[in-house]
Amino acid sequence: MVDFTLTDEQKDLRDLAHDFAEKEIRPVAWELDRDGGFPQAIINKAHEVGLMNTHIPEEYGGPGLNSLDGCIIEEEMSWGCSGIQTSLGANGLAAAPVMLGGSDEVKREFSAALLESPKLASFCLTEPDAGSDVSGMRTRAVRMGDKYVLNGSKCFITNGSYADYFVVYAKTDPEAGHRGISAFLVHKDDTVIVDKKEDKMGQRASNTATITFNDTEVDARYLLGEENHGFKLAMRVLDYTRPGVAAMATGISRAAFEMATAYSKERVQFGVPIAMHQAIQFMIADMATKVHLSRLAAWNSAVLLDQGKRNTLESSHAKRFAADSAMEVTTDAVQIFGGYGFIKEYKVEKFMRDAKIMQLYEGTSQIQRLVIARETLLPRRIEEPATATA
């Protein structure tokens, strides 16, 4: 039996996240967007009330929420501001490879650090010359006794300027393509340099930076998974995180849809509210459908994970559809506002700018189509040449 009826506990979780988004995030979202400010105060508050690090298992001291629970939270928080949610949720992306590939000792150490105080962790995969083509990365990790030495730069790193920990993917066998990549948990020290903070079109409350590792020493116990198996680990990680990205896109769509719907009831043209015109009604109906189906796709891909099943195809469906729908819904929302939609005072344009990144990070919409095509044409084909970005 398929049933997406939320439990009472999940409804309470949704209410908690929505209340936080409404009272803590929305009042400052447009100011932080305008100034490109970092939401440290909100991060501190979210950590205090338990809306961060929800992915950490109970055995390591965390709340142990499942993937569907995470999607519920991420939609509500992104309804508040997806840029702030990206800052709040980035620990989940960084923690996934640790939980999947780290030793029990490393998992406990890392979990304790994140739970004790609002520390941040960043996921470092993308490079200037290696976005969707992960195999083209140039960052190197050389084994020297009981440690590795890392050198190279990573770009588009969420929370990079503020992170205490980095999960870094590097070549340990430069001649082996995607089969020569390994993953490491790196603690920030003086050899880890923030080179550049990006000035972004959207999600401006999320810090994005270029990080350089200069002879950074990493104890061998912080190797995540097996040496030269980092690509497979990264692909598993994205299967885990893409349902949440789809939920974030749903939150953006829903926020724009609600704002446009309310405006259509207030704006009078030709003697009646524009919501009375069939052209607007059809736009509203299409937006409602896209929000609804985006949520269902995100939840379906999450539930498969919670059932211990492989969700590669479903998570790509969800991420692709929800991201593309977010761009379409927010564009239509601006259209419904007419000329006012182009004015920052009316706020709806922020959703349109925020939505664009959903088609780009954690695998572009084109990469999702490649994954969907391969999973459809060659079912169960797990290891492929590098085609992902984060």
Assess whether 49 and 151 both reside in one domain: no
Token couple for 271:
């003697």
Global pTM value? 0.95
**Please, what is the end-to-end C-alpha distance for the chain in angstroms?**
35
Distance between CA atoms of residues 230 and 173, nearest Å: 11
Assess whether 238 and 264 both reside in one domain: yes
Query: What's the Cα-to-Cα distance from 367 to each of 108, 164, 264, 364, rounded to whole Å?
Result: 34, 30, 36, 5
Assess whether 268 and 152 both reside in one domain: no
- The length of the chain in residues reads 390
User: Range of 358's domain?
Assistant: 231-377
Active site residue 9: no
Assess whether 290 and 302 both reside in one domain: yes
- Domain-located, residue 371: yes
**Secondary element (H or E) of residue 208:** strand 208-219
Residue 386's pLDDT is: 39
- Domain-located, residue 3: no
Assess whether 203 and 324 both reside in one domain: no
- Domain-located, residue 206: yes
Catalytic residue among 74, 127, 362, 375: 362
CATH value at residue 191: 2.40.110.10
Quote the number of domains for the chain.
Answer: 3
Residue 131's pLDDT is: 84
Assess contact for 358 and 322: CB atoms under 8 A: yes
Q: Is 159 left (phi over 0), alpha (psi -120 to 50) or beta?
A: left
Three-class SS of 84-96: HHHHHHHHHHHHH
228, 258, 281 - which closes a domain = 228
Assess whether 293 and 327 both reside in one domain: yes
Return all residues near 172 (Cβ < 8 A) that are at least 6 apart: 140, 141, 142, 143, 148, 180, 181, 182, 227, 228, 230
Q: Which stretches in the chain have pLDDT values below 50?
A: 382-390
- Domain-located, residue 383: no
